[in-house]
Chain A
Amino acid sequence: MSRLDVALIGAGFIARTHMAAWIALGARIRIFSTDGQAALLAEEFGLTEAASLPAALDGAAIADICTPTTTHHDIALAAFEAGAHVLCEKPLALTPKDAQHMSDAAHEAGRLLYPGHVVRFFPAYVRLHDAVTSGALGRVAMARFTRTGRYPTWSNWFTDPALSGGIVTDQMLHDMDIARWLFGDVVTVHATQRGRPHAPEGPVATGSATLTHQSGVISQVLGVWGPPATPFRYTFHIAGSHGTLTHDSLAHPSLRVTGAAGAQGDGVPTGDFGEDPFATQIREFAAAFQGGPAPRVSALDGVAAVRIAAAARQSAATGLAVAVAVDDAYPLTLTEGSPR
């Protein structure tokens, strides 16, 4: 059993959420980033700051990649080279080719690769998965997923579709993965993506995707990156022959504070009170890295989600429905039909 020596690569928003979970597991963390933020985190949380990527990976059992999407591939390959397992923030990559290559490289190096599909660890989706797989919903016909929040202006690269893939890839990939987890492989995607970089209150974006699964289930994924005051919210609604299941993350908070100065009322914790899903995720991955059971999400799930998202991007760009290769045949091909 290997020790939890973790190389945390990147020092942005996601790195912070992962770091807390690693610390709770007693991991020893060396952190490296190119944005000048690693030193701050190292000092604040007593981590070791590494001077370079090779230095960070040297002797690490695990690399946790929390960098912008387009850098994942090369960092992952360097990690495998250095003998580390990899937890890679979602999406694994922008292109199916890169994602597949990362998965192949892990296999060849005899290392493990897990994508940070953290939504699979949120309690509402766990319970939904139970209801679908146990047959409690009967034969599922249709599902809708929405995910709404403020536009991610905390890092510049999100606003550049060439780096993030835009909302369809960076945000809606979560629910595409959930839909595939619940209803099986996706055969066709039709998607739209709209953005207004210069809206009055800052950039806004919205996207939609209609997925047709091999099982015949149809699912709809909607994403919104809204103006700054937009609360974070996710919802789903599933309909089957034995009824429906609905969740709205804002509908039934365990604690609601109103009237206090400042939106959240400083000093009063609000929101979810169970285990942080990021912590659940990292605990499950850490166990697998140390020889424990396989987690609920695999590298191939990460590759499949990238494939769906890439097909969605292609659909949004062309206006056509796009077939998703279910096996490892890529690149993507258009389905037959009338061009737009």
Chain B
Amino acid sequence: MKVALLSFAHVHAATYIQLLRDRSDIELIVTDPDAEPGDPTRGKTLADELGVPYRADYEEALAERPRAVIITSENTRHRQLVEQAAAAGAHILCEKPLATTEEDARAMIDACQQAGVSLMTAYPVRFHPAFTALRHSTTDGSLGRLLSVHGVNNSSPPALERSWFTDPALSGGGAIMDHTVHIADLIDVLLDGEQPTHVYAAANEHLSPAHEGAAEAVETAGLITLTYPRGLVTTIDCSWSHPATHPTWGGLTLTCVTERALVEFDAFPPLLTGYDTSRATPRWEPAATDLDAAMLNSFLTAARTGQRAHPDGHAGLRTLRIVLAAYESLRTGQPATITAA
């Protein structure tokens, strides 16, 4: 099955390429035409380094009629590429957030529906087997009713690798745009798609590197509170607050308070820890569960069989609406209301 990966703008592009390039059932082609010419971390240079066939531009890649397309561009460029890929008849996996405006997200969902292709949003954490177990235990009644859910998704600042993450014209925002959606998607799964009614957000730019002539700073730390129709409360720490020199990128945890128990989920616990004298840093070996691989498997199976892939575009839209409400709350200083879609 031919798979095309479009754009290396997002740091996940290289991760996906490494997971797909050696699979005998996948013929992977890639392109990154929007990269700055000569950027050694992108474009044909990166494709050669990773050992994957490179195409000159999106049109050339899509002309080969790939059955599946993975879009890892800057956030605000998702819509254009999704519409092109849908028109080319490809099933689509789009990096999160699905879009930065509700209008874009709806247009993408519509384009894929009209073309009869799947639109999947890249939320890997829901594929963790421990999360599946958590979901079962919170929905089968054994833990009683859910009172509150507290999520943390911290990472080092992504702009250190890709500067567009702090350019609102390309990213749509900062840490709130980047990180809220992962936790929001897990809660979306736990609540079967139920939407919050109110979203409150507090944020600051204290961890932004101060440099002269910088564009308008985006938020680098954020705390969000969601309230649901039946009273459930959810909090999300979406901060880019993890030290860049730490041996791991960050992490994601979820604590559920139920009538009968506290349940704590850690999506990225270390498998091994220790100390590395040669580099004078702590050792941190990630767990063996590869969430990106599980997500890609699910997407590729759906693409192969023509089944609908989940989380779909609607899941991407529901979580985006929470993000947009969080920004509205930042503007007003009060909780923003989410109306039923």
Q: Which of B2-10, B13-21, B115-123, B253-261 contacts A (4 or more CB under 8 A)?
A: B253-261
Is B304 close to A, CB under 8 A?
no
Across the interface, do A208 and B259 meet the contact criterion of CB distance under 8 Å?
no
> Which chain A positions have C-beta within 8 A of B335?
190, 319-321, 340
Complex Cα spacing A182 to B74, Å = 38
Whole-angstrom distance from the CB of B225 to the nearest CB of chain A?
Answer: 6
Q: Which of A63-71, A141-149, A325-333 contacts B (4 or more CB under 8 A)?
A: A141-149
What is the interface size of chain A, counting residues whose CB is below 8 A from a CB of the partner? 45
Instruction: Pick the contact of A321: B200, B204, B261 (CB < 8 A).
Output: B200
Instruction: Pick the contact of A196: B145, B206, B239, B262 (CB < 8 A).
Output: B145
**A181-207 near B? 1/0 per residue, CB < 8 Å:** 000000010101010100111001110
Complex Cα spacing A314 to B203, Å = 22
Assess A227 versus B260: contact at CB under 8 Å? Given A141-B220, A208-B233, A222-B150.
yes
Residue of A nearest to B328 (CB): A338
Across the interface, do A218 and B221 meet the contact criterion of CB distance under 8 Å?
yes
Across the interface, do A241 and B207 meet the contact criterion of CB distance under 8 Å?
yes
Is B72 close to A, CB under 8 A?
no
**A225-244 near B? 1/0 per residue, CB < 8 Å:** 01100100000010111011
> Which chain A positions have C-beta within 8 A of B202?
188, 190, 210, 212, 218
Residue of B nearest to A243 (CB): B243
Quick one: which of B150, B232, B243, B257 has the most chain A CB within 10 A?
A: B257
> Which chain A positions have C-beta within 8 A of B237?
142, 144, 220
Is B144 close to A, CB under 8 A?
yes
Instruction: Pick the contact of B223: A142, A194, A320 (CB < 8 A).
Output: A142
Q: Which parts of B123-153 form the interface with A (CB within 8 Å)?
A: 144-145, 147-148, 150, 152
Residue of A nearest to B336 (CB): A338
Whole-angstrom distance from the CB of A206 to the nearest CB of chain B?
Answer: 5
Q: Which parts of A111-168 form the interface with B (CB within 8 Å)?
A: 139-142, 144, 146, 148
Complex Cα spacing A201 to B259, Å = 8
Is B41 close to A, CB under 8 A?
no
Across the interface, do B333 and A199 meet the contact criterion of CB distance under 8 Å?
no
Assess A194 versus B147: contact at CB under 8 Å? Given A206-B233, A320-B334.
yes
Assess A210 versus B259: contact at CB under 8 Å? Given A141-B204, A141-B207, A216-B204.
no
Is A43 close to B, CB under 8 A?
no
Is B283 close to A, CB under 8 A?
no
Across the interface, do B225 and A208 meet the contact criterion of CB distance under 8 Å?
yes
Is A337 close to B, CB under 8 A?
yes
Across the interface, do A200 and B257 meet the contact criterion of CB distance under 8 Å?
no
Is B332 close to A, CB under 8 A?
yes
> Which chain B positions have C-beta within 8 A of A240?
206-207
Is B318 close to A, CB under 8 A?
no
Across the interface, do A321 and B333 meet the contact criterion of CB distance under 8 Å?
yes
Whole-angstrom distance from the CB of A337 to the nearest CB of chain B?
Answer: 3
Complex Cα spacing A210 to B207, Å = 19
> Which chain A positions have C-beta within 8 A of B195?
none
Residue of A nearest to B227 (CB): A192
> Which chain A positions have C-beta within 8 A of B242?
239, 244
Assess A142 versus B241: contact at CB under 8 Å? Given A190-B335, A218-B202, A220-B235.
yes
**B234-255 near A? 1/0 per residue, CB < 8 Å:** 0101010111000000000000
Across the interface, do B334 and A210 meet the contact criterion of CB distance under 8 Å?
no
**B306-341 near A? 1/0 per residue, CB < 8 Å:** 000000000000000000000000001111110000
Q: Which parts of A305-340 form the interface with B (CB within 8 Å)?
A: 319-321, 335-338, 340
Complex Cα spacing A210 to B227, Å = 14
Instruction: Pick the contact of A210: B148, B225, B243, B261 (CB < 8 A).
Output: B225
Residue of B nearest to A230 (CB): B262
Complex Cα spacing A205 to B259, Å = 9
> Which chain A positions have C-beta within 8 A of B198?
319, 340
Whole-angstrom distance from the CB of B325 to the nearest CB of chain A?
Answer: 12
Known: A199-B144, A321-B200. 6 other contacts (CB 8 A): A141-B221, A142-B223, A199-B145, A204-B147, A210-B200, A220-B237
Q: What are 8 inter-chain pairs, A to B, with CB distance below 8 A?
A: A139-B207, A141-B239, A206-B148, A206-B233, A218-B202, A226-B262, A319-B198, A320-B334
Top-6 shortest CB links A-B: A337-B334, A239-B241, A141-B206, A199-B259, A142-B221, A141-B221
Which residues of B are interface residues toward A (Cβ below 8 A)?
144-145, 147-148, 150, 152, 154, 198, 200, 202-204, 206-207, 220-223, 225, 227, 231-233, 235, 237, 239, 241-243, 257, 259-262, 332-337
Which residues of A are interface residues toward B (Cβ below 8 A)?
139-142, 144, 146, 148, 188, 190, 192, 194, 196, 199-201, 204-206, 208, 210, 212, 216-220, 222, 224, 226-227, 230, 237, 239-241, 243-244, 319-321, 335-338, 340
